A = this chain, B = another copy of it.
Amino acid sequence: MAQQKKFVEEITSMDVDFAKWYTDIVKKADLVDYSRVRGCMIIRPYGYAIWENIQKNLDAIFKATGHENVYMPMFIPESLLQKEKDHVEGFAPEVAWVTHGGMEKLTERLCVRPTSETLFCDHYKDVIHSYRDLPKKYNQWCSVVRWEKTTRPFLRSMEFLWQEGHTAHASAEEAQAETIQMLNVYASFCEDYLAIPVIKGQKTDKEKFAGAESTYTIESLMHNGIALQSGTSHNFGDGFAKAFEIQFTDKDNQLKYVHQTSWGMSTRIIGAIIMVHGDDNGLVLPPKIAPIQLAIIPIAQHKEGVLEKAQELLNRLKDTVRVKMDDSDKSPGFKFSEQEMRGIPLRIEIGPKDIENNQCVLARRDNGEKMVVSLDDLEEIVPKTLQDIQKSMLEKARAHRDARTFSATDMQTFAKQLEETPGFIKAMWCGDEACELEIKEKTGATSRCIPFEQEQIASTCICCGKKASKMVYWGKAY
């Protein structure tokens, strides 16, 4: 019991200190360990298994929508990074520079990729000549480096894992369609696999990606009411194509510039999973991406027949769900806490009395519900319950998000709301960057997105009072 208590005591309550609660979970659920390299994390087996499940499912969707994987070098020569003016301005201040190879000083510095637009452009220039070579729809899974001042596991680290899609198209329309398609892929993936509801919309000019014509985003809301940008899709128009001279001969025999897009989702999304679904007992994982979906925990396992029965259930279920049995010598209570801490969606408790009655206890991680079920029904009830959990988690997250989405028509209400109960604030905006900056200064909120689903909350900008055409989601953000 002492051991069990210790396990649970070590987590700070989310209401007491949300940031501490987050880092406690990250460590206690064995997702991450800190490394000796400032701001770089070690992704441990359990954390990496979550990423593998995200990767596997997302990759299948990319392939089904006609994308191909490639691998580009991790280094970008300084002169290449500088080719697109806005892009280099955005990224140069936060890159790591390689200056020496072996014992020699390099004649040109290489940066470790913070993102790979410049490398893809340089390659596309080589391989695109005719309309027959289009579209090019490439993606790569890799790690990137951004020299951040303050870092937090998953949310903001110097190095993180991600995928970056880079496409080139014959027309502006096709590039725009791709940009929106991939935003929709991210949105559906978040809702269907991660049980995270998102707001789809466009970034303001101030918040868009360095070098992009337009940036689209999915924004999610964490349990504490702070927003998280969870995936972005950029339309570059022909800006990069002009900087890199990526031209093709079209069907009409004219030389034209390609139109490009890029889009990315990263290990940051694991931070969202933690902060959207987690509770004071630890992580809560959506069944679709949980490395272990079901934990079988024998009760009084020293008694005759208990371990055998638990093993029998494991064998029966192992082709249907991702299941583990915990037959270690820890107490059942300790095993329960551990299973809860690690966010395993479902638990079977089985002891001598249960066996006698041909039943077991099924405990849901998401809402703590316990059901006594017949052992005969497990093949049916376990997958069904996992589906239920997946569905309820999305509903619960959506209800919380909706309850923390507010409207404001004056700056005072806006600021007060964010101060008292942070969340999304819907407010009208004139489109002027000066107002965006003023709102940030006065409330701490940034524009999260101009949502596709517009509402007419008022007719004037909440900041300057001039005519407003756009409703914007605002919020404090990670």
Contacts and interface: CB of A to CB of B under 8 A. Distances in A.
Contacts of A109: 100
Contact of A122 (B35, B95, B99, B161): B35
Contacts of A51: 71
Contacts of A110: 37, 96
B69 A42 contact: no
B97 A99 contact: yes
A389 interface: no
Nearest to A106: B96
A40 B73 contact: yes
Interface string A31-62: 00101110011111100110110000000000
Nearest to A142: B143
Nearest to A132: B328
Interface string A80-103: 100000000000011111111111
A10 interface: no
Given A33-B126, A77-B36, A110-B37, A71 B161 contact: yes
A68 interface: yes
Given A71-B43, A159-B75, A161-B71, A35 B93 contact: no
Contacts of A98: 96-99, 112
A270 to B, nearest CB: 12
A52 B69 contact: yes
B99 A94 contact: no
Contacts of A95: 101-102
Nearest to A95: B102
Contact of A75 (B40, B48, B52, B122): B40
Interface residues of A, number: 51
A172 to B, nearest CB: 25
A70 B135 CA distance: 35
Contacts of A93: 102-103
Interface in A126-145: 126-127, 138, 142-143, 145
Q: Which of A42, A126, A127 has the most CB of B within 10 A?
A: A42
B33 A123 contact: yes
Contacts of A40: 73-75
Contact of A70 (B48, B73, B77, B159): B48
Contact of A76 (B37, B45, B97, B143): B37
Given A75-B159, A142-B143, A36 B97 contact: no
A147 interface: yes
A119 interface: yes
Contact of A36 (B69, B112, B122): B122
A58 B44 CA distance: 20
A381 interface: no
A90 to B, nearest CB: 13
A464 interface: no
A75 B37 contact: yes
A403 interface: no
A292 to B, nearest CB: 12
Given A122-B35, A123-B35, A102 B147 contact: yes
A332 to B, nearest CB: 18
Contacts of A119: 35, 42
29 contacts: A33-B126, A33-B127, A36-B122, A37-B73, A37-B76, A37-B77, A37-B110, A42-B71, A42-B73, A42-B123, A43-B71, A44-B70, A45-B68, A45-B69, A48-B69, A48-B70, A49-B68, A49-B69, A52-B69, A74-B74, A93-B102, A96-B101, A96-B110, A97-B98, A97-B101, A98-B99, A99-B99, A100-B109, A112-B112
Given A33-B126, A93-B103, A97-B101, 5 more contacts: A36-B77, A36-B80, A71-B143, A112-B112, A142-B143
